Amino acid sequence: MALIRSQDREGVRLLTLDHPPVNALSFALSKELLAAIASAEAQASVRAVVFSGANGIFSAGADVNDFRDEMPADATTIRDVIAAVERGGKTYIAAIESTAMGGALELALACDYRLAAPRSKLGLPEIRLGIIPGAGGTQRLPRVIGAQAALEMMLKGESIPAEEAKRRGLIDEVVEGDLVEAALALAARAIQSEPKRRLSQRKVEIAAGVHAFALPYVVAQAHKMCPPEDRGGLAAHKLVDAVQAAFELPFERGLAREYRLFDQLVRSAPAQALMHLFFAERELAKVPGLSGAQAREIEKAGVVGGGTMGTGIAITFANAGIPVTVIEPAEEQVEKAKQMVFGMFMHQVQRGRLTQEEAWRRGQSIVFSDDYGELGDADVVIEAVFEQLDLKRHVFERLDAVTKAGAILASNTSTLDIDAMAAVTSRPQQVLGLHFFAPANIMKLLEIVRGAQTAPQTLATAFKLAKTLRKVAVLSGNAFGFIGNRMLFDYAREAVYLAEEGVPPHRVDAALKEFGMAMGPFAMFDLSGIDVFRNVQLVRREKGAARTAIVERLCALRRFGQKSGAGFYRYEKGSRDPVPDPETERLFAEEAAKAGVERRQDVSDEEIVSRTIYALINAGANLLHDGVALRSGDIDVAYIYGYGFPPHRGGPMWYADELGVAEVLDGVMRFRQRLGEHWEPSPLLVEIARGGGTFAEHGKELTHA
């Protein structure tokens, strides 16, 4: 079927992009659109061209699949289409409905006039894929809104609403009513009296009132604000260079600079990693057996436990417009929870993200009670009580007795057995884990944990709920620690072992932050609470999770982390900044001596990174081998959104593929020989390394099932 629909009316040709679902500007569509433009240019009776989109959307931009492989030499791209518009003799108008992202906005910027519907959003989000706009966006946008504003918009990768776009001069008019008819009417007027307005003919200003002499300073400051190139900032620095070219060079030369920078970036390792994550995130819900499952509607929710986590979950439901009842018997805790709710919504009002009325409405949608009977009409109830299995089983027994037959019962546990909780209910098919990450109302990751009897409909409902809550949902099997924490245990083990061997905690953290982790492991332990870390260690002690009593020693000294002012680090009053503490190093040395752990002086930063990250990879390989995780991409997404793994490295499993799985296996084997059998390589790691494959290929059939 044709991807471009053409219609003539009184000297105006309407070209409609018709490539469901989002009118992606693929090579195939670009080829048809280029031919349609050539046809319009060749006909004297056609004096203006209007671009619009079918399906209620202009276009979401380029087809990212086109960037994953080498581009065919004969491919027609949106660059070719825009070049044809630029040199064309007709008047061009873009009628933007719903969305104009990336290449679609670049096409609109090449036009003489731009109209948009009120609900439309416009943006150049390429930076999120580790690239820059590559079809003139870095050259035309600065000519509309100024170099500084354009750079800020592209560096953030955010979209702006139509009214904001009009205020900035990015579009000419926001149209209430029939957008295409308004565009056709504008075209008719433009034919008679309005001149063509190619942005390529405009001069670039830095910003209103800013003299051109300030350009070197503005450029230097922009580079200074970007992360280093080798720590995820490669595309950002190239974007600054491209916008600088728009200011300093004639349009054609600036365009050539942009093309060269884009072409360098699109095949770079960071861009390929970010594109991997882009597709991995879209494949998360592709679960065998779910295609025919009908998700239930969630209209009312319940939460058991009014602590920090339970209250955060309640706020998440309120933000999604779902009323929620929180069961909490302790009056003191209820007051703390109410203060947290009030403070959170007031903060949103102060930031301009909510009106007073909306904040009040959301706050009122959270009700506190000590009566389980109040949960009788809830569609889903999430327990968020203390991480103790007997307590959780007791909660599930009570929930099973009071909730309606169709209600889904979920646990927010981060480690415990979902099947053990389901076993005390009469509805194990409606029981699963919904593991939120703290703070629950901010962190995007949600682990959906499937029990042995969890029904497809229950899983389908969970995925739909996650989307409503604006969470990124990753499916996990029911294994201790699930995906994220199970891998974290091995990562944490090596961090602690390194400190026992004489590497100061702050040096371990510094090496991993240099690698790109958002936070080092010891700072993370202090943030979550060392007493929490101790509880996990107690459960896993039989697996060799600790060689010394360092964690028990810290807890005995009431060094619980940030909440007590000291942990692996110390903290100044009122500050969350970790300060290295010689006392911690002394305690590590004492405990290492008691346990007979050999101290070393020769540990390099490279060893710190390889020991911790290879442990993470090996654990991930075991999860794939055991079926706890479906795909390597699921693991990568979980670690990006939940654990601060650097996105430009694509996640631990993608990083292993980039290093070479055989190289990782060699490292694991060396560590096993030197450090012990807890470094036993995963069977899947061995299989893929010896077969010359990649983790990305493992489970690929699930994606295309």
- Domain CATH for 404: 3.40.50.720
Instruction: For residue 328, give every residue at least 6 positions away whose Cβ sits within 8 Å of its Cβ, in sequence order, or none.
Output: 305, 306, 310, 334, 337, 368, 369, 370
CATH classification of the domain holding 233:
3.90.226.10
243 and 201 in a common domain: yes
Residue 651 in domain: yes
Tokens for 310, please give them: 């339970």
CA distance between the termini of the chain? 25
Residue 169, number of CB atoms within 10 A of its CB: 12
How confident is the model at residue 539, as a pLDDT? 62
Domain boundary (576, 603, 630) is at 603
Q: What is the 3-state secondary structure (H, E, C) of 301-320?
A: EEEECCCHHHHHHHHHHHHC
Residue 616 in domain: yes
191 and 57 in a common domain: yes
553 and 433 in a common domain: no
User: CA separation (Å) from 634 to 3, 80, 283, 284, 453?
Assistant: 33, 36, 8, 6, 22
Residue 273 in domain: no
What is the Cβ-side half-sphere exposure of residue 403, based on CA atoms within 13 angstroms?
A: 30
Classify residue 486 as exposed, middle or buried by CB count within 10 Å of its CB (0-12, 13-18, 19+): buried
Residue 574, number of CB atoms within 10 A of its CB: 5
As a whole number, mean pLDDT of residues 494-511 equals 96
- C-alpha–C-alpha distance, residues 664 and 661, integer Å: 5
Tokens for 291, please give them: 């295609």
618 and 596 in a common domain: no
- C-alpha–C-alpha distance, residues 157 and 534, integer Å: 41
**Among 16-25, 66-75, 632-641, which is the least confidently predicted range?**
66-75
* pLDDT one-digit tens code per residue, 585-597: 999 999 999 999 9
Residue 113 in domain: yes
How confident is the model at residue 705, as a pLDDT? 46
As a whole number, mean pLDDT of residues 549-569 equals 93
- C-alpha–C-alpha distance, residues 198 and 432, integer Å: 57
129 and 222 in a common domain: yes
Residue 282 in domain: no
Domain boundary (420, 445, 480) is at 480
Query: At 87, which helix (H) or strand (E)?
Result: helix 78-87
CATH classification of the domain holding 620:
1.10.1040.50
Task: Please provide the average confidence, as pLDDT, over all residues in the chain.
Answer: 93
How confident is the model at residue 216, as a pLDDT? 83
Overall number of domains in the chain:
4
- Which residue in the block uniquely carries the two structure tokens 């630029």? 86
Residue range(s) defining the domain that contains residue 574: 483-603
* pLDDT one-digit tens code per residue, 417-470: 999 999 999 999 999 999 999 889 999 999 999 999 999 999 999 999 999 999
* pLDDT one-digit tens code per residue, 572-584: 988 889 999 999 9
What is the Cβ-side half-sphere exposure of residue 554, based on CA atoms within 13 angstroms?
A: 30
Catalytic annotation on 10?
no
342 and 247 in a common domain: no
261 and 335 in a common domain: no
* pLDDT one-digit tens code per residue, 286-324: 999 898 899 999 999 999 999 999 999 999 999 999 999
Residue 317 in domain: yes
pTM, to two decimals: 0.92
Instruction: Assess whether pLDDT exceeds 60 at residue 681.
Output: yes
Tokens for 345, please give them: 């919504």
How confident is the model at residue 305, as a pLDDT? 96
- The SS3 of residue 476 is strand
**Residues composing the chain:** 705
- C-alpha–C-alpha distance, residues 159 and 60, integer Å: 11
How confident is the model at residue 73, as a pLDDT? 80
As a whole number, mean pLDDT of residues 195-214 equals 83
Instruction: For residue 299, give every residue at least 6 positions away whose Cβ sits within 8 Å of its Cβ, in sequence order, or none.
Output: 322, 379
Residue 293 in domain: no
Instruction: Assess whether pLDDT exceeds 60 at residue 545.
Output: no
611 and 592 in a common domain: no
How confident is the model at residue 206, as a pLDDT? 85
- Which residue in the block uniquely carries the two structure tokens 């490279």? 606
How confident is the model at residue 146, as a pLDDT? 92
How confident is the model at residue 702, as a pLDDT? 60
Q: How far is CA 696 from the centre of its chain?
A: 19
Instruction: Assess whether pLDDT exceeds 60 at residue 542.
Output: no
* pLDDT one-digit tens code per residue, 663-680: 999 999 999 999 999 999
User: CA separation (Å) from 315 to 333, 345, 377, 410?
Assistant: 16, 9, 19, 17
Task: Report the candidate in 623, 695, 620, 699 with the shortest Cα–Cα distance to residue 661.
Answer: 695
Residue 277 in domain: no
320 and 213 in a common domain: no
339 and 319 in a common domain: yes
- C-alpha–C-alpha distance, residues 124 and 150, integer Å: 10
How confident is the model at residue 704, as a pLDDT? 47
71, 78 contact by CB (below 8 A): no
Name the active-site residue from 106, 258, 328, 500: 106
Pairing between β-strand 48-53 and β-strand 12-17 as defined by DSSP bridges: parallel
613 and 575 in a common domain: no
Task: Give DSSP secondary structure letters for 320-376.
Answer: TT--EEEE---HHHHHHHHHHHHHHHHHHHHTTSS-HHHHHHHHHTEEEES-GGGGT
Domain boundary (463, 480, 497) is at 480
Name the active-site residue from 97, 126, 387, 591: 126
Query: Is the peptide bond prior to 428 cis by the omega test (within 30 degrees of 0)?
Result: no
- C-alpha–C-alpha distance, residues 553 and 532, integer Å: 14
519 and 454 in a common domain: no
* pLDDT one-digit tens code per residue, 107-159: 999 999 999 999 999 999 999 999 999 999 999 999 999 999 999 999 999 89
* 238 phi and psi angles, rounded to 5 deg: -65, -35
Confidence of residue 543 (pLDDT cuts 50, 70, 90): very low
Catalytic annotation on 106?
yes
As a whole number, mean pLDDT of residues 610-635 equals 97
- C-alpha–C-alpha distance, residues 127 and 133, integer Å: 8
